[in-house]
């Protein structure tokens, strides 16, 4: 069965199986920025005690942030100013695949699949700036937290926390707590 058919069939069962809508939970007003890693799906949120309705979840490859006016910051702006989020959690994870992505190899693969060279070269920030910004998951969390705190579009009274998640054990380690920073 094609993947799309599997998704639609699962959804039909999901809808039919639901006895009643979930009860309304108090919103936790958290904006969560994390990685798209498949192991985090249905694992990170329960590990954090975040339930449906609690958090705005933003994901990308390696929870990377390289553009100060890009999609991640824009999503945070909407989460904070339009949707009432008052804390931000940046959650990286151990064994993140972004640490293994090789720029030259990725570039060759993309060109081999017919991506025009001009399109690759027109990327701003460049492929190198993006992949090069990711050295290790821990350092990336520190870097992204620092960038969000320093971004003029993000209000200074919003604590921005950094955490590192173990996608096997489910343990969360605190990298950088945001309360002391906002209290200054
Ligand atoms: Zn990852």
Ligand 1 centroid vs 60 CA: distance in angstroms? Answer: 8
The reported pLDDT for the residue numbered 52 is 83
The more confident residue out of 12 and 87 is: 87
Q: Which residues neighbour ligand 1 (ion) by CB within 5 Å? A: 35, 37, 96
pTM of the model: 0.87
**Residues 44-61: tens digit of each pLDDT:** 998 988 888 889 999 999
Ligand 1 centroid vs 135 CA: distance in angstroms? Answer: 12
Ligand 1 centroid vs 167 CA: distance in angstroms? Answer: 9
The reported pLDDT for the residue numbered 24 is 40
Ligand 1 centroid vs 4 CA: distance in angstroms? Answer: 24
Ligand 1 centroid vs 62 CA: distance in angstroms? Answer: 4
Q: Is the pLDDT of residue 21 over 80?
A: no
Ligand 1 centroid vs 146 CA: distance in angstroms? Answer: 19
Ligand 1 centroid vs 93 CA: distance in angstroms? Answer: 6
What percentage of the chain exceeds 90 in pLDDT?
Answer: 70
The reported pLDDT for the residue numbered 183 is 63
Q: Mean pLDDT throughout 118-141?
A: 92
The reported pLDDT for the residue numbered 184 is 53
- Structural domains in the chain plus CATH codes: 26-183 (3.40.1050.10)
Residue 26 pLDDT grade (very low, low, confident, very high; cuts 50, 70, 90):
very low
The reported pLDDT for the residue numbered 126 is 92
The more confident residue out of 167 and 22 is: 167
Ligand 1 centroid vs 98 CA: distance in angstroms? Answer: 6
CA distance 60 to 137: 13
Ligand 1 centroid vs 39 CA: distance in angstroms? Answer: 9
Sheet holding 30-35, edge to edge: 55-60, 30-35, 87-93, 160-165, 172-176
Phi and psi at 91, nearest 5°, equal -120, 105
């Amino acid at each position: 069965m094609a993947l799309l058919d599997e998704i639609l069939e699962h959804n039909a069962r999901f809808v039919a199986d639901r006895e009643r809508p979930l009860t309304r939970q108090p919103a936790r007003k958290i904006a969560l920025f994390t990685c798209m890693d498949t192991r985090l799906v249905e694992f990170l949120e329960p590990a954090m005690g975040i339930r449906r309705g609690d958090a705005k979840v933003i994901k990308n490859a390696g929870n990377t942030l390289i553009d100060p006016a890009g999609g991640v910051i824009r999503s945070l702006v909407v989460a904070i100013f339009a949707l009432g989020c008052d804390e931000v959690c940046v959650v990286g994870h151990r064994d993140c695949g972004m640490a293994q992505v090789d720029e030259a190899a990725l570039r060759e693969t993309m060109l081999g699949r017919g991506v025009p060279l001009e399109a690759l070269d027109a990327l701003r920030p460049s492929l190198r700036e993006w992949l090069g910004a990711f050295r290790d998951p821990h350092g990336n969390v520190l870097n992204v937290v620092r960038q969000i705190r320093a971004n003029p579009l993000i209000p200074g009274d919003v604590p921005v926390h950094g955490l590192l998640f173990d996608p096997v054990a489910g343990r969360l380690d605190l990298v950088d707590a945001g309360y002391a920073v906002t209290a200054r």
